[in-house]
Chain A
Amino acid sequence: MSESVFTDATKMSGDRKAEDAIVVMRGVVKKFKDFVALKQIDFAVGRQEVVVVIGPSGSGKSTLIRCINRLEEHDQGEIIVDGTELTMDVKNIQEIRKETGMVFQSFNLFPHLTVLDNISLAPRQVRGMPKAEAEELSRELLERVKIPEQADKFPAQLSGGQQQRVAIARSLAMKPKVMLFDEPTSALDPEMINEVLDSIKQLASEGMTMVVVTHEMGFAREVADRVVFMADGEIVEVGTPTELFDSPKEPRTQKFLAQIL
Chain B
Amino acid sequence: MILWLRRNLFRSIWDSITTIVFGGIALWFIWISIEFVFITGRWEIVEVNLKLFLVGRFPEELMWLIGASMVAIAFWVAAVAGGSPLGTEPRLRLAERIVDYVRRFGLIFALAILLVVLSNSLDSLLWVGLLGIGVFAGRVVGRMRRDNKIIQKLPGIIWQPMIATPAIALVIFTLLESTLELWGGFLINFYMALISIILCFPLGLLLALGRRSSFPVIRFICTAYIELIRGAPLFVLLLLAGVALEFFIPPTISPDAVFRGITVFTLFTAAYLAEIVRGGLQGIPSGQIEAGKALGLSTVKINSLITLPQALRSVIPAQIGQFISLFKDTTLAGVALNLFDVMTVGKVITKQDDFLGQGLIYESLIFVGLLFWVVSYVMSKESQRLEKRLGVGIR
Residue of B297, B310, B394 near A122 (CB, 8 A) is: B297
User: Contact between A108 and B287 (Cβ–Cβ < 8 Å)?
Assistant: yes
In the complex, what distance in Å separates the CA atom of A98 from the CA atom of B295? Answer: 6
Complex interface residues of chain B between 269 and 315 (CB less than 8 A to chain A): 285, 287-288, 290-298, 301, 305-306, 309-310, 313
A245 on the B face (CB < 8 A): no
User: Contact between A94 and B296 (Cβ–Cβ < 8 Å)?
Assistant: yes
User: Contact between A112 and B295 (Cβ–Cβ < 8 Å)?
Assistant: no
User: Contact between B290 and A71 (Cβ–Cβ < 8 Å)?
Assistant: yes
User: Contact between A121 and B295 (Cβ–Cβ < 8 Å)?
Assistant: yes
Residue of B290, B294, B301, B309 near A112 (CB, 8 A) is: B309
B395 on the A face (CB < 8 A): yes
The interface on chain A, measured as residues whose beta carbon lies within 8 A of the other chain's beta carbons, has a size of 27
User: Contact between A104 and B395 (Cβ–Cβ < 8 Å)?
Assistant: no
Of all chain A residues, the one with the shortest Cβ separation from B295 is A122
Residue of A69, A111, A170, A174 near B395 (CB, 8 A) is: A111
Give the chain B neighbours of A121 by CB distance below 8 A.
295, 297, 305
Residue of B295, B298, B305 near A174 (CB, 8 A) is: B295
A55 on the B face (CB < 8 A): no
Residue of A100, A125, A156, A170 near B305 (CB, 8 A) is: A125
User: Contact between A126 and B296 (Cβ–Cβ < 8 Å)?
Assistant: yes
CB distance from B296 to the nearest CB of A (A): 4
Beyond A112-B310, A125-B301, A125-B305, whether A106 also contacts B287 by CB under 8 A is yes
User: Contact between A112 and B395 (Cβ–Cβ < 8 Å)?
Assistant: yes
User: Contact between B395 and A108 (Cβ–Cβ < 8 Å)?
Assistant: no
Complex interface residues of chain A between 118 and 142 (CB less than 8 A to chain B): 121-122, 125-126
User: Contact between B297 and A69 (Cβ–Cβ < 8 Å)?
Assistant: no
Complex interface residues of chain A between 134 and 170 (CB less than 8 A to chain B): 154-156, 167, 170
User: Contact between B296 and A71 (Cβ–Cβ < 8 Å)?
Assistant: no
CB distance from B389 to the nearest CB of A (A): 14
Of all chain B residues, the one with the shortest Cβ separation from A122 is B295
Give the chain B neighbours of A100 by CB distance below 8 A.
294
User: Contact between A104 and B305 (Cβ–Cβ < 8 Å)?
Assistant: no
Of all chain A residues, the one with the shortest Cβ separation from B291 is A108
User: Contact between B285 and A170 (Cβ–Cβ < 8 Å)?
Assistant: no
CB distance from B295 to the nearest CB of A (A): 4
Beyond A112-B309, A125-B305, whether A97 also contacts B293 by CB under 8 A is yes
User: Contact between A104 and B287 (Cβ–Cβ < 8 Å)?
Assistant: yes
Beyond A111-B395, A112-B309, whether A102 also contacts B294 by CB under 8 A is yes
Give the chain B neighbours of A104 by CB distance below 8 A.
287, 290-291, 294
Complex interface residues of chain B between 217 and 271 (CB less than 8 A to chain A): none
A46 on the B face (CB < 8 A): no
In the complex, what distance in Å separates the CA atom of A155 from the CA atom of B309? Answer: 16
In the complex, what distance in Å separates the CA atom of A5 from the CA atom of B260? Answer: 70
CB distance from B9 to the nearest CB of A (A): 43
User: Contact between B295 and A170 (Cβ–Cβ < 8 Å)?
Assistant: yes
A10 on the B face (CB < 8 A): no
In the complex, what distance in Å separates the CA atom of A110 from the CA atom of B305? Answer: 10
In the complex, what distance in Å separates the CA atom of A101 from the CA atom of B290? Answer: 12
User: Contact between B297 and A126 (Cβ–Cβ < 8 Å)?
Assistant: yes
Give the chain A neighbours of B313 by CB distance below 8 A.
112
User: Contact between B290 and A108 (Cβ–Cβ < 8 Å)?
Assistant: yes
User: Contact between A110 and B296 (Cβ–Cβ < 8 Å)?
Assistant: no
User: Contact between B285 and A108 (Cβ–Cβ < 8 Å)?
Assistant: yes
CB distance from A161 to the nearest CB of B (A): 18
User: Contact between A156 and B295 (Cβ–Cβ < 8 Å)?
Assistant: no
Please give me the 5 A-B residue pairs with the lowest Cβ-Cβ distance, nearest first.
A108-B291, A102-B294, A122-B295, A108-B287, A97-B296
Known: A108-B290, A156-B395. 7 other contacts (CB 8 A): A70-B293, A71-B294, A97-B294, A110-B288, A111-B310, A125-B301, A170-B295
28 A-B pairs with C-beta separation under 8 A: A69-B293, A71-B294, A94-B296, A97-B295, A97-B296, A98-B296, A101-B295, A102-B291, A104-B290, A106-B285, A106-B287, A108-B288, A108-B290, A108-B291, A110-B288, A111-B395, A122-B296, A122-B297, A125-B305, A126-B295, A126-B296, A154-B395, A155-B395, A156-B394, A167-B291, A170-B291, A171-B295, A174-B295
